[in-house]
Structure 1
Amino acid sequence: MFLLRPFSLIWYLISTTRNTLYNIGLLDSVAFDLPIICVGNLCAGGSGKTTITEYLTRLLFKNNQVGVLSRGYMRKTRGYVLANHTSTAEEIGDEPLQIKKNFPTITVAVCEQRAIGVPTMLCDNPQMNLIIMDDGFQHRSVKPFINILLTEYHRPFYNDYLLPYGRLRESRNGVRRADAVIITKCPEHADFDKIKFKVWEYADESIPIFFSREVYKSPVNFFGNHVIIFPGTTGVTLSGIAHPEHFEKHCSSLVSIQKNFRFPDHYQFKESDLKKMNREFDEMKEKGKIIFTTRKDFMRLQHPGIINQVASLPLAIIPVEAEFIQEPDSPINFDNFIFNKLRQWKNE
């Protein structure tokens, strides 16, 4: 890995030059006539962006015409695609599809070039008055009204290094562009003060820092009905996500897990994968058996080539949501921060 350090220097020069060109105005950032909330991170890989995007959607969509714009990572299409009730993960990506399934009435679209995606979304839905831009922190061609940076509690940006030696897409100083920082996936007893002081080594101390955790909800089956888990049930996990440890640990708290079937993040499951898992699953001698998977993985398990095979499995899909931890001495919580910022927009 040490041999990658020189390449990280090249990455630093490229990313810093690009940011400087935006900062001094030689590269344009387009501002739009509606508030755009950007949810992003400095690191490549999962930091909980989708759960925070869904939290914001849940918080705001009842009183706003909300749209969600994403890149649509690992989709097979290119350019701008508007999600609908027949969209697949191959067409728009697993995470945008999950958001569309969870919030079927909102506008969800994918586009690599966000400065093209925003106006095209507005043409598709002229009533839209707020856009949440998922994974947009490095997409500086669009100027967000609220820039939210996420970093994982156990994998914070200030302990990481630039690609390819580490996971950082840009230098740690990128945090200075954020209007707020969310420390995601916090354990039960988080050291708030230690984290804050570490973040403030790179950011202004006036920046609000919030803490969130992931809460797993009751499992549902293929048809969306609640799954009843009886005593003595055993099972396996099936996942293709960035860091499956938390998910697997939660499943182990529900039943005795015999094996964890792990695949790369955003992996498109194949018929051969399911057949192999089924063979090992059938060899388990226990009577009550179940297969746990995430909602994100379930989006890809609905691929037309395998959906009939998936429908026959004893599947338990576990949804996950973000929950914010309110510090005892904190003068403001995350919801109020968002509401206050949006009031500022209306008053400007």
Structure 2
Amino acid sequence: MSRDRDDSRGRPGWAAEAAARSQLREVEPLPTILLDGVSKVYRDPMTLKPFTAVDGVSLSLEPGEIFGLLGPNGAGKTSTIKMILGLTRPTRGTIRLEGRDPQDPTARRRLGYLPENPCFYDHLTAEEYLGLVGSLFSIEPRTVRRRAEALLERLGLRVHGRKALRRFSKGMTQRLGLCQALLNEPAVLVLDEPMSGLDPIGRADVKHILREERARGATILMTSHVLAETEPLCDRVAILHRGRVLEMGSVKAILESDVLEWEITTDALPDQRMSLLREAGHRVDSVGSRWVVRVLDAGALQGILRTLTEERVFIRSVEPRRESLEEYFVRVLEADGVGTASGRESGGRS
């Protein structure tokens, strides 16, 4: 019977191979955040009718990755985050943080979280508040002080460490929120609109810090409505709508999609040629002292360039313009019925 269960045991070297396979399984990294078929159903408090906020979402995030969870209001982003944080349980499906249930205290100790609108005890100073956060994580006081000083310095709040939080601006409060999220040196960082309320310098600082945390090996899940900020930061994104994942993939692959149009920049453009280009359906715009011809049809590009050269028009550049993350986002949502007032989400949980 034992040979039926494993007929390789009589073969020379089977024990070494089994040990090697076991070691390989041990070193294979687990996904830091894993959602498998996760759904969340609420009941309307008035009608008691069920409402599906999250519908069969599956995600797998690896160490050292910045992942963007994108979607309009009411798409299910906040409900998904609450389940990842262990604040509410999924109705169906499984969530794991480094292989553990989000309710497991060990998983929570390795988790950092920045809510969209951080709210602190405004009678405390920044240093006192970070000390309180450190005590909740059972971090040794000297370690808390050392980390707090370093984080306040990184986020440009060192000179405000002893200022009462009620005197903090929105941007300063947002920076302090990131300080507390990083205080326990988390393996998993969940950030809900981390750029909210920040000026351009603040946004640049936060992006720099997030890249440093990625290099450290942290897994970062972030939401954002400012897709121009998300585009250069995230490794992958998922677009959520009506609780479902519509699209998911690498930002690099999205940005390397087909060329939308070609932009020809010239110093001057004869009036007659300008009129002919516009009649042919090409856009011609004045940009400062130069002209930009936008050619949608790649097949017409070579003919236009040849004609401009024959007419001795100086061509400064010819550049392809590909789809931006924001354009991709809008296109995916429009394909799912968003784009008119009737197609947008109205109410519901986000």
TM-score bracket relative to the smaller structure: under 0.3
Larger radius of gyration: 2
Q: Please identify which structure carries the higher strand content.
A: 2
